[in-house]
Amino acid sequence: MIGYYIIAGVLFIVSMYVSNKLKSKFKKYSKVHLQNGMSGKEIAERMLSDNGIHDVKVISTPGMLTDHYNPQKKTINLSEGVFTQRNAAAAAVAAHETGHAIQHAQAYSWLQLRSQLVPVVSVASRFSQWVIFGGLMLMMTTAMGSTILLIGIILYGMGTLFSFVTLPVEYDASKRALVWLENENMLSTQEHDAAEDSLKWAARTYVVAAVGSLATLLYFLSIYMGRD
């Protein structure tokens, strides 16, 4: 299990670095005020309208960087630092989340796949590590432990698959956001560069999560393969 703790430690450090970098970038670009004077809410509503979407609401949600699109309720939930603010960081986040709403409206295949995986992954992620550790413990005393470990690995693999399916969804939403912001001349060159940098660091948090999940999965799989 030493290998597991090493992987977990390295991933924790990398994850913290990327997370802190994202927060510092958001703070930095929150000072780059938009020349057009539009708030995050107004940016999202304008982008929705330009794409012919009129059944999605833009609402405020508590917290920092808690922004997300809810496909069930058809709401773009913008954090307090995005909803009312009029800066490059807010514009980037608002347009990105609107990108998800557009994906939903256009039945973007990767988003549909991710949505289909949600019910399975929500259950699998809840029990996978318990099953894995239970299998590892039982391997010391019974052959059944290997089977239980394999079941846990399969469950964990569902979460890993979800992490990688999430990547094209997030990158595509950022691409849609940046293309729209540029085509509609919503931002100046400086503002656009700031928005692009913000979204790049946000995307890296998903990359770290996916790579970390894969590394952990391969570690447990190596234990299973070498059980004899």
Token pair listed for 82: 């995005």
Range 79-83, long-range pairs (CB < 8 A, 24+ positions): 81/26, 81/30, 82/40, 83/39, 83/40, 83/41, 83/58, 83/59
Per-residue b or e along 61-81, where b marks 16 or more CB atoms closer than 10 Å to that residue's CB: beeebebebbbeeebbbbbeb
Let me know how long the chain is. 228
User: How far apart, in whole angstroms, are the C-alpha atoms of residue 189 and residue 21?
Assistant: 22
Using CA atoms, how far apart are residues 101 and 119, in angstroms rounded to an integer? 20
d(C-alpha 93, C-alpha 99), whole Å? 10
Amino acid identity, position 91: A
Which is the catalytic residue, given 97, 182, 184, 196?
A: 97
Q: Is 184 a catalytic residue?
A: no
- The set of catalytic residues is 97
